[in-house]
Amino acid sequence: TQLLEQSPQFLSIQEGENLTVYCNSSSVFSSLQWYRQEPGEGPVLLVTVVTGGEVKKLKRLTFQFGDARKDSSLHITAAQPGDTGLYLCAGGPGSARQLTFGSGTQLTVLP
Amino acid sequence: GAVVSQHPSRVICKSGTSVKIECRSLDFQATTMFWYRQFPKQSLMLMATSNEGSKATYEQGVEKDKFLINHASLTLSTLTVTSAHPEDSSFYICSAKPAGNTIYFGEGSWLTVV
């Protein structure tokens, strides 16, 4: 069974601070996605990384896929209250085209 | 972009009754859909894989007789929670994948069993 561990589980920071969320596994994934989810809504895809060592930027968000495709990080610069939400990494899809979800990071950005 | 829609978004039912949640792919055909369960501030837990025209594949620990899944067409999968109990109260989410690598999620359905 492929497992994805995210850290930290909870993170509360002040507006303007920087933060990094980590997603680690002992398994290799063909691709890795990052999602953001708000309460009562489905996850929304932020980015997909597929190549080891790949770095993608989405405004103030920087995503990196590890060289061995076993881990990933999400870095947010100058966090804003609108960044508050549950961040989920997900690896795959596997042979059944399903995703393996990380344990999640609940981010709260205080104004 | 591809859209997956769930209905209802919120439902309250009495303990012992059954409730059906629908998951539709609105602009693509999906031979496979996935059903997840999520508790507040926790990650998604895969419950089952819904296969069009065949039986669903359930994850370990998920009671197939309690969570009935039917995937009767290429655009619709349903999850029926039978003989619901308060502990079944949760947020249920479906997903589907058109051609390509992107997986799309429904908006989710809040189930409250009273």
Contact A43 B97 (CB under 8 A): no
pLDDT per residue as tens digits for the range B8-17:
999 999 999 9
- What local confidence, expressed as pLDDT, does residue A3 receive? 81
- What local confidence, expressed as pLDDT, does residue B102 receive? 73
- What local confidence, expressed as pLDDT, does residue B40 receive? 86
Interface probe for B, chosen from A98, A105, A106 (most Cβ of B below 10 Å), is: A98
**How many residue pairs from chains A and B have C-beta atoms closer than 8 A?**
58
- What local confidence, expressed as pLDDT, does residue A70 receive? 93
pLDDT per residue as tens digits for the range B65-109:
999 999 989 999 999 999 999 999 999 999 998 776 678 899 999
pLDDT per residue as tens digits for the range B20-77:
999 999 988 988 899 999 998 889 999 999 988 889 999 999 999 999 999 989 999 9
Which residues 6+ apart lie within 8 Å of B38 measured at CB?
B44, B45, B90, B91, B92, B93, B108
Does position B1 have pLDDT exceeding 70, yes or no? no
Tokens representing B81 are: 């929670």
CA dihedral A10, A34, A21, B47 (to 10 degrees): 40
Stretches where chain A sits below pLDDT 50 are: 96
- What local confidence, expressed as pLDDT, does residue A65 receive? 96
Cis amide bond preceding B8, omega within 30:
yes
**Residue B60 contacts A, CB cutoff 8 Å:** no
Contact A104 B105 (CB under 8 A): no
Determine the 3-state secondary structure of B88 from DSSP: helix
**Residue B105 contacts A, CB cutoff 8 Å:** yes
Q: How far apart are CA A59 and CA B66, in angstroms?
A: 44
End-to-end CA distance of chain A: 40
A52 to chain B, minimum CA–CA distance in Å?
Answer: 17
